Amino acid sequence: MNIVEVYFPKVMDVVGIKSNNSLLIEEYNCNQLHTSLADLPAAVEIWFQPYKVKPIVRYNNFMLDYWLANIDIYDHKIEFSVSKNFFADYKNKNMQGRIDSLSEQQKSIDHYWDKYIGINNLHPELVAEIKKLIQ
Amino acid 1: pLDDT: 81
How far apart CA 101 and CA 111 sit, in angstroms, is 16
Amino acid 90: pLDDT: 97
The alpha carbon dihedral of 107, 111, 114, 116 has a sign of negative
Amino acid 115: pLDDT: 76
Amino acid 26: pLDDT: 97
Amino acid 61: pLDDT: 95
Amino acid 121: pLDDT: 74
Amino acid 77: pLDDT: 97
Amino acid 114: pLDDT: 78
How far apart CA 33 and CA 94 sit, in angstroms, is 27
How far apart CA 127 and CA 123 sit, in angstroms, is 6
- What parts of the chain have a pLDDT lower than 70? none
Q: Roughly how many angstroms between the first and final C-alpha of the chain, as a whole number? A: 38
Amino acid 38: pLDDT: 86
Query: Residue 24 belongs to what H/E stretch?
Result: strand 22-37
How far apart CA 85 and CA 114 sit, in angstroms, is 24
* Identity at 102, one-letter amino acid code: L
